[in-house]
Structure 1
């Protein structure tokens, strides 16, 4: 039964959105990253991202990262300026050893902006972080 499945709380795994210069096009792009700030490797990281509001919804984007080493990060996706006006959710499921973890990270609409940039763990960059 569903009530018998124990999915522990996710700690020290975050999603961040960072504004970075695209070297080829000389533009400032917003990119989403997953940050593994734990001492353990994450296996089979499944990510489903989607933007939405009361009247609009983007198609879900699916991503897989086979292994995310301890104290590291990986790029999830580029985020167009238009989707920053929407709520953006990132549903992340992964395995740590034989244990499954699951968490949904939510960036509320218009919270990804230059005024919200803060230092990020591990990345040596500023961005918008959801814990």
Structure 2
């Protein structure tokens, strides 16, 4: 039965960790975003995140976005810098045109840092992008 389920390749959907100024607390924060660079809306987006290493594992964080409009993005969560020493994983499942898509985005340990910042699709910001 599993062999009959086809999950197509994910394209145009990214997870980015962005370094941003927080005007309320006057701090530089790291925030995770889901980005939809497609020409169609994403529906029922489910994101499950966690961090892990050989000796540590974080609790799971779950986020649901009912609709992520085409050419837009949504904040997933703020990430503390202490977690950058772990592998950070984002499991994303969504529907587009009544078809289910699923992909795991992984930021390897110590790859999220100021030297790795690059332009983020659709956002006027710089961050680390997992494709």
Task: State the TM bucket, normalised to the shorter chain.
Answer: over 0.9
Q: CA deviation at 1:24?
A: 1.2
* Map of 2:95 onto structure 1: 95
- Alignment of structure 1 residues 108-119 onto 2, 5 Å: 108-119=108-119
Q: CA deviation at 1:97?
A: 1.9
- The 3-state SS of whatever aligns with 1:8 is coil
Q: C-alpha distance in 1, partners of 2:58/2:3?
A: 31
Q: CA deviation at 1:98?
A: 1.1
Structure 1 unaligned spans of 5+: none
Figure out how many residues of one structure are paired with residues of the other and give that number: 131
- 1:49-103 per-position Cα deviation (integer Å, ceiling 9, x unaligned): 0000000000000000000000000000000111111100000000002100000
**TM-score, structure 1 normalization:** 0.99
* Map of 1:39 onto structure 2: 39
- 1:93-124 per-position Cα deviation (integer Å, ceiling 9, x unaligned): 00002100000000000100000000111001
Structure 2 unaligned spans of 5+: none
**TM-score, structure 2 normalization:** 0.99
Aligned Cα RMSD in Å? 0.5
